[in-house]
């Protein structure tokens, strides 16, 4: 039964998150609020129950797969951007590249006091 308990905790947090998001008309999606709720719960509990870790880490291991169905939806939006296609391509590459560079540099510079490269994939 550990998987069922773990999934129930995850879905329960999402459920409460959705309720809060809808009820208070917050601009944040329910699952993100659910994540905050679970984090608070874990901090209070002081450790991650094994069953929760099992189902949670199982889901995270396949996170890339979970984006595929929504990603295929790009095929529907192609028509909408035809007029601005090349401008958008430039924006996506230049702006994303600059965002990556600036963020990494700022964080690495601010964090230069406690560099930690021990953990390697």
Partner 1 sequence: MNVVRLDQLWVYLSGNPLLSLLATLIAFLVAVRINRGLGGTPLLHPVILSIALLIAFLLMTGIDYATYFEGAQFIHFLLGPATVALAIPLYDHRQRVARMILPILAACLTGIFTAVGTTLALGWVLGVEHEVLMSVAPRSVTSPIAMGIAEQLGGIPALAAGLVLLTGSVGCALGPFIFRILKVQDPTVKGFTMGLAAHGFGTAYSFSSLGAAAGAFAGLSMGLTGLLTAFLLPLITHLLGL
x/- track of binding to partner 1 for residues 49-68 (CB under 8 A) = ---xx-xxx-xxx-xxxxxx
Nearer to partner 1, 1 or 25 (CB): 25
The label of the residue with tokens 């994303």 reads 96
We find the least distance from the C-beta atom of residue 1 to partner 1, in angstroms, to be: 17
Q: Which residues contact 74 (CB under 8 A, 6 or more apart)?
A: none
Q: Nearest distance from residue 13's CB to partner 1, in Å?
A: 5
* Residue that has been written with the tokens 């905790």 in this structure: 9
For residues 46 and 48, give the distance between their C-alpha atoms in angstroms, rounded to a whole number.
7
Binding of partner 1 by 98 (CB under 8 A): yes
């Amino acid at each position: 039964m550990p998987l069922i308990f773990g999934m129930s905790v995850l879905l329960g947090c999402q459920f409460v998150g959705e309720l809060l998001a809808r009820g208070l008309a917050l601009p944040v999606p329910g699952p993100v609020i659910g994540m905050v709720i679970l984090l608070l719960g874990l901090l209070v509990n002081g450790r991650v129950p094994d069953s929760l870790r099992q189902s949670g880490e199982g889901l995270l291991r396949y996170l890339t797969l979970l984006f595929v169905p929504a990603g295929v939806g790009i095929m529907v939006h192609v028509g909408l951007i035809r007029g601005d296609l090349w401008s958008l391509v430039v924006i996506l590459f230049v702006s994303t590249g600059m965002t990556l560079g600036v963020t990494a540099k700022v964080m690495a510079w601010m964090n230069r006091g406690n560099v930690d490269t021990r953990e390697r994939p």
